[in-house]
Amino acid sequence: MDNNKKIQEVIDSRLASLRFDDKFTGKTVSKVVEPGTTKKPFAVAIAACLCIVLTIPVLAATIPSFNSFLALVSPQIAQKLQPIEMVSEANGIKMEVVAAMNDDDTAVVYLTMQDLTGNRIDKSINLFNDYSITGTNMMTSEVVAFDQKTKTATLRLQASGGSKLNGQKVTVRINSFVSGRREYKEVDMGIDLGVISRNPQITVFDMNNSSGGGGTLFKIFKEKGNINILKRDEMNLLIPRINFAQISNIGLVDHRLHVQIKWSGEGVDNHGCLYLTDAAGNKIYPSNISLNTNTSEKAEDTCKYEEVIFDIDKAELAGSELKGDFVTYDRQTRGNWQTTFKMEAVTKAQEADCSIESESMKINSVSISPLGITIKGRGQASRSDNLDISATMTDGSSMRNFGTINTYTDDGRITIKYMPDSPLDIERVSAVNINGNIVKFNQ
């Protein structure tokens, strides 16, 4: 990249990074981070403007971060990465977006977080769902590596649900993270399941008021609308070794074992899961429903309530034990780390129109990129479709190992993303097979 183009990108990204909205100042540590000195005249002018901003992005092109990072990924991934090397500092912590990879609907961003003044970053760092990549709506993050000597964690952010991301400027923003993870495994609740109440106090709960849940029963309950749950706080059973959760009720409801958990406000990002173990040591996992609403203003809702439901008959409870795995973090660090850059896919995606009917949607286009296969259509997304997807390679072989499948909908439009564990070599893809329907690509 020539110097003039680099300078223009720096200026564009700095101007795009300026934020004066009051809604951000409350979450930002009130400390101005002084920019590093430089002899480049254009950087001096930019620094004069940025001195009024609490979080200061600076150019890191002179730091060989990208080259050092390549040792952490496979050669297949390295070939598809776009170097970024943009830095933001706040609260004594440096965030650097090192590299990115994208197509029109999905972005993968690699960044580092380094503590310059303390020990707030460790291998358990978690972004606590308090981060974003503009233009997307489904995000995950994971730690790729941690360097104890430099107190630097390398993270991989994956964001889906975008539209025409390639060529757009995006902002990666982190507002806080947690660290100091503590785990408690196989904690025995100490409850004799043989004597629990067969007729506990119950109440009716409107599933439309739930803020989330999971498990095989959750969809059934959502379709049903109103369900019977345990009445809150009928008991207060302490959980051994755990000071941030307790059993607030337990009993059989509609021939299923219900356990109500009350999560207190102590600790950070407290969570966990209950399960049953039978006499043979097999684990039986439940469905769960969050009983807190996003709009609740009741004082009791400063604690979080969760209904855990086991689809198991009372006769099967004999010989079973109720156990749980729990996680908490020691600290949460707040700041306002953000950088803005332009997404430029190293390998452009290919798209083909089609007309394929499935059980609940009509597929009208298929695209391939190094990040995987994207199917778009209209209708209603349904797990019952069980789409059989594979990529036919130019040598006649077939690739059908997709580690991640993301589905997102918008006003009847459906996008399903099938992502392999390593980049897809689209120059070797001759066709995509969808339930026996062949969509060809010209190579």
Confidence category of residue 443, pLDDT binned at 50, 70, 90: low
Confidence category of residue 188, pLDDT binned at 50, 70, 90: very high
The answer to whether residues 60 and 80 touch, using CB atoms and an 8 Å cutoff, is: no
The answer to whether residues 269 and 126 touch, using CB atoms and an 8 Å cutoff, is: yes
Burial 63-81 (b: 16+ CB within 10 A, else e): eebbeebbeebeeebbebb
In tens, the pLDDT along 337-372 reads 999 999 999 888 999 999 999 888 899 999 999 999
**pLDDT given at position 57:** 38
Q: Among 107-111, 239-243, 404-408, which is the least confidently predicted range?
A: 404-408
> Which domains are seen in the chain, by residue range?
3-180+333-342 (no CATH), 184-330 (no CATH), 350-440 (2.60.40)
Q: Among 24-33, 60-69, 254-263, 314-323, which is the least confidently predicted range?
A: 24-33
**pLDDT given at position 99:** 95
Q: How far is CA 168 from the centre of its chain?
A: 22
Q: Please, which residues have CB within 8 angstroms of residue 19's CB and are 6 or more apart in sequence?
A: 53, 336, 338
Q: Among 49-53, 261-265, 307-311, which is the least confidently predicted range?
A: 49-53
Segment 275-285 shows an average pLDDT of: 93
Segment 175-200 shows an average pLDDT of: 94
In tens, the pLDDT along 121-153 reads 999 999 988 999 999 988 999 999 999 999 999
Confidence category of residue 302, pLDDT binned at 50, 70, 90: low
**pLDDT given at position 65:** 81
pTM: predicted TM-score of the whole model, two decimal places: 0.73
**pLDDT given at position 382:** 64
Confidence category of residue 293, pLDDT binned at 50, 70, 90: low
Start-to-end C-alpha separation, the chain = 29
